Amino acid sequence: ASDLFEARFDERVTSELVGAGDAEGMLLALFGVGVAAARGACARALGATDLRELEEHGLLVEVPTWGAKEAHADAEPGSHSYGLPAGGDDGEVEAGGDDALLASLVQVFPLSLENPCADEGGDDRGRGAEARPGARCAATELLIATDWELESLLPAKWATMAVGEDSLALVHLAPLPAVGEDGAAPRVLDVCCGGGVQGLAAAARCPQACVTCLDINERAVRACRFNAVLNALDGRVRAAVSDGYSALPGRPGGQSEREAEHSERDTRALGGPPFDVILANPPFVAVPPPPAHAHECAEWAAYADGGPDGTRVLSALADGASGLLRDGGVLAIVSEYPNMERTHEWLSVAEDMDLAVFYDPAHTLEATEYAEARASERGWPWMSAEAHLASLEAHGVRTMGSGLAFARKVPERARAGSRTPRRAAFPLGGVDGEHGEQLSLLASSGARVRREWQAFAEGALW
């Protein structure tokens, strides 16, 4: 994979690394690394039949190339010609020919996770496997198809979010029950699901769980359904278009026209509340709105745009969670938060919920640093660092940081009297002692997050 990544702009080197009949290597190149490979090389590695099916299903598309033969012949790998195949006399590559480049619109992310819920000898991914308490299982392998993070051939606004470090932190650290209330199958809600990584991971780890996945983006919902089938989890995972919680059965106001148009049949099959767990990786990037004349290609992706202070979706999810959870149920969110060190004070969970926030102070940026980083990330002329900073300051944002927020609905028996909701912050983190690099929260403090949350949650019950 490392060699393929280094050679991703040079088709000649890719062809040397991926030989005839090496289907696994070519699939890794196309869907795992993002290499564009010549049709002829793809056919030799995958076979004509499989290649044709990939093209017919839109998973591989032909991309335009240009450049004279002489420029290509003299080019070195990494030069400005990017090693594109030689064109004809007019510099064009023949459409449909063996030299035409094929690229994937989607990437496939391999996800490995431990499955503490399934029987070691059983099917820990499929439909209806039985849980055995205390069983220890081999790692479950999932494949998650999403759009590419940056170098996508699609407009970013309605792309499906790639799996990132924040996604992985929630996948591995979110508290999941082995069984639901009164021994029933756990009910899990993945809201702002994207390609469904949270819901699918929950379904794989807990083979009795019934999972509902919601996203406002129709493309993301299609990706989630595809991934459920790809991983043999479609028997227990349902997905539908929804603005936040609105598509859930029994919600006040019901669905919007757009949601009803795209998901009327699917929402009838959705699992409704109460849920044992709500998982959320909402849009959280704090960005000023684009000018009225901006094209959708110059807007932040819907999965990222959290409004001027980053809380537009986050606050709505936190505020509405209690009414969807059973007693003892948990809301687990990974996000960026304005004024990170005070998140446990301002995040609007209900009074019947206790809240713990886990974060690494080293992952918190001053508003000036954050504005500079986000402005340069896309490079759009309408969003300078100065304009971004002015927007943050206007909305009271002094810092932005990433972290996990876990909130537990306190059982009714423990809410009697004048009990005060508990709110706590846990600053964690660490540095790689060998290389001096700042580690992710999962890498530096994953075990501590689990310990601290367990102790906090047990204290919240009594």
Q: Specify burial of residue 234 (Cβ count, 10 A radius: 0-12, 13-18, 19+).
A: middle
Structure tokens that stand for 288 in this block: 């000023």
The yes-or-no verdict on residue 196 having pLDDT over 60 is: yes
Distances (CA, A) of 381 to 286, 288, 352, 385, 431: 17, 13, 46, 10, 36
299 vs 294: CA distance, rounded Å: 7
Please give the domain boundaries of the chain with CATH numbers for all domains: 1-65+99-104 (no CATH), 106-111+137-458 (3.40.50.150)
Per residue in 250-305, pLDDT tens? 665 444 555 455 444 454 556 678 999 999 999 999 988 877 777 766 778 889 99
More confident position, 234 or 250: 234
In Å, the largest CA–CA distance within the chain is 85
Mean pLDDT of 401-411: 95
pLDDT digits (tens, 9 = 90+) for 149-177: 765 556 678 889 999 999 999 999 999 98
Question: What does the pLDDT read at residue 132?
Answer: 39
**pLDDT beyond 50 at 88:** no
Structural tokens at position 13: 């080197």
Q: What is the mean pLDDT of residues 414-441?
A: 75
Task: Write out the H or E segment, with its range, that includes residue 267.
Answer: helix 257-268
Decide: residue 395, CB within 10 A, 0-12 exposed, 13-18 middle, 19+ buried: middle
Beta bridge partners, 329, equal none
Q: Is the peptide bond before 274 cis (omega within 30 degrees of 0)?
A: yes
Q: Which of 272, 303, 131 is closest to 210 using CA atoms?
A: 272
364, 250 Cβ separation under 8 angstroms: no
Output 395 or 298, whichever has higher pLDDT: 395
Q: What is the pLDDT of residue 309?
A: 95
In the three-class reduction of DSSP (H, G, I as helix; E, B as strand; rest coil), residue 452 is classed as: helix
Q: Please determine, for residue 194, whether its predicted confidence score (pLDDT) is greater than 50.
A: yes
Backbone angles phi, psi at 366, to 5 degrees: -65, 155
Q: What is the pLDDT of residue 16?
A: 60
Which of the two residues, 138 and 16, has the higher pLDDT score? 16
- With CA atoms as reference, report the closest residue to 211 among 195, 183, 191, 229: 191
Q: How far apart, in whole angstroms, are the C-alpha atoms of residue 94 and residue 452?
A: 61
**pLDDT band, residue 70 (cuts 50/70/90):** very low
DSSP state of 287: -
362, containing H or E segment: strand 353-366
d(CA 358, CA 421): 17
User: 42: which 2 tokens?
Assistant: 């793809």
415 pLDDT band, cuts 50/70/90, is confident
- What helix, strand, coil percent values describe the chain, rounded to 5? 35, 20, 45
Report DSSP state, residue 28.
I
Q: What is the pLDDT of residue 262?
A: 47
Burial of 435-457, coded b for 16+ CB within 10 Å and e otherwise, reads eeeebbbbebbbeebeebbeebb
| Mean pLDDT, the chain, whole residue set | 80
Checking if the pLDDT of 7 tops 60, the result is: no
Q: What is the pLDDT of residue 151?
A: 52
Counting residues of the chain whose pLDDT is more than 70, the rounded percentage is 73
125 has pLDDT over 50: no
